[in-house]
């Protein structure tokens, strides 16, 4: 059988002192590239991953600088849609008639209100005039009552003076005058005289004249006291 073994290859032996610095340099370069790649990836995670690291000057010479994707501007909020004005429904003939009727009634009510206000104003003016007239009449009544009181006081004073005059006279002299004196005046004087003075004068008068005077005096006093008795009952 033929010999199938391959011949042993012989490589030239390199000197180890020469290969060791070269290996360290290569590892240092690889580590530096890996560090730069990691730094770029940390700064911009969206940058394409590549095993090759180029400097900024080389990247500027070979290809344009990559720009970061800018975020799209936020869309401005759309203006709020204003509600459309409600469409006015058409007015039917019946509704138009009702509106006209209401308008006419409102006019009538306004006219009636104006008339009532005018009547109230006239009534207030009439009441004011009546109140003023009542005040005038009250003042006039007060004056008349004062005049009547003064007149009655004067009359009483006059009668008292006349009565005093006859009371100081002698009964016979006074009887002579009373025989010819008018009956109303005689009754007023006899009514105001003291009982003793009046009885003495009546005794000296003519019998018939004294009788008439006594009957008339009694009737006058009865009429004067009767209204008081009727009101008391």
Give one DSSP letter per residue of 58-94, joined into a string. HHHHHSPPPPPPPPPPPPPPPPPPPPPPPPPPPPPHH
pLDDT of 14:
46
Output the pLDDT for position 128: 93
Contact indicator for 213, 186 with CB cutoff of 8 Å = yes
Task: Kindly state the tokens that stand for 163.
Answer: 């009565």
**Distance of alpha carbon 189 from alpha carbon 198, whole angstroms:** 9
Q: Which pLDDT score, from 0 to 100, does residue 37 have?
A: 66
H helical segments located in 169-206 = 171-180, 183-192, 195-204
Q: Which residues are CB-neighbours of 36 under 8 A, at least 6 positions away?
A: 53
pLDDT of residue 73: 52
User: Can you tell me which residue has the tokens 């004068």?
Assistant: 201
Residue 165 · residue 139 · CB < 8 Å: no
Structure tokens, 30:
């690889």
pLDDT at residue 23 in the model: 74
What is the model's pLDDT at position 64?
43
Q: What is the pLDDT along the chain (233 residues), one digit of tens a residue?
A: 444 454 554 544 544 456 666 777 777 787 777 676 666 655 554 444 444 444 444 444 444 444 444 545 555 555 555 655 556 667 688 888 888 889 899 999 999 999 999 999 999 999 999 999 999 999 999 999 999 999 989 988 888 988 999 899 999 999 999 999 899 999 999 999 998 889 999 999 999 999 999 999 999 989 888 755 555 55
* C-alpha neighbours within 13 Å on the C-beta side of residue 207: 0
Check: CB of residue 186 under 8 Å from CB of residue 211. no
Query: How confident is the model at residue 67, as a pLDDT?
Result: 44
Report the pLDDT value the prediction gives residue 19, as an integer from 0 to 100. Answer: 63
- Listed by start position, the domains of the chain span 150-225
Beta-carbon-side half-sphere exposure of residue 85 (alpha carbons within 13 Å): 3
Residue identified by tokens 């010819």 is: 180
| pTM recorded for the entire structure | 0.40
């Amino acid at each position: 059988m033929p010999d199938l073994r391959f011949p042993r290859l012989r490589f030239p032996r390199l000197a180890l002192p020469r290969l060791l610095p070269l290996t360290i340099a290569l590892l240092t370069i690889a580590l530096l590239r890996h560090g730069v790649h990691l730094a770029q990836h940390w700064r911009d995670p969206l940058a394409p991953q590549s095993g090759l690291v180029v400097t900024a000057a080389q990247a500027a010479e070979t290809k344009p600088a990559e720009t970061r994707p800018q975020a799209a501007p936020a869309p401005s909020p759309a203006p709020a849609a204003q509600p459309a004005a409600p469409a006015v429904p058409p007015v039917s003939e019946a509704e138009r008639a009702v509106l006209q009727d209401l308008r006419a009634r409102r006019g009538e009510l306004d006219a009636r209100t104006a008339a009532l206000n005018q009547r109230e104003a006239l009534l207030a003016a009439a009441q004011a005039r009546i109140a003023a007239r009542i005040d005038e009449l009250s003042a006039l009544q007060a004056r008349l009552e004062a005049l009547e009181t003064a007149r009655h006081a004067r009359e009483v004073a006059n009668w008292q003076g006349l009565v005093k005059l006859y009371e100081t006279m002698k009964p016979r002299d006074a009887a002579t005058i009373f025989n010819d004196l008018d009956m109303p005046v005689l009754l007023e004087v006899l009514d105001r005289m003291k009982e003793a003075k009046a009885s003495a004068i009546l005794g000296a008068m003519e019998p018939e004249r004294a009788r008439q005077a006594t009957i008339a005096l009694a009737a006058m006093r009865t009429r004067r006291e009767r209204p008081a008795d009727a009101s008391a009952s």
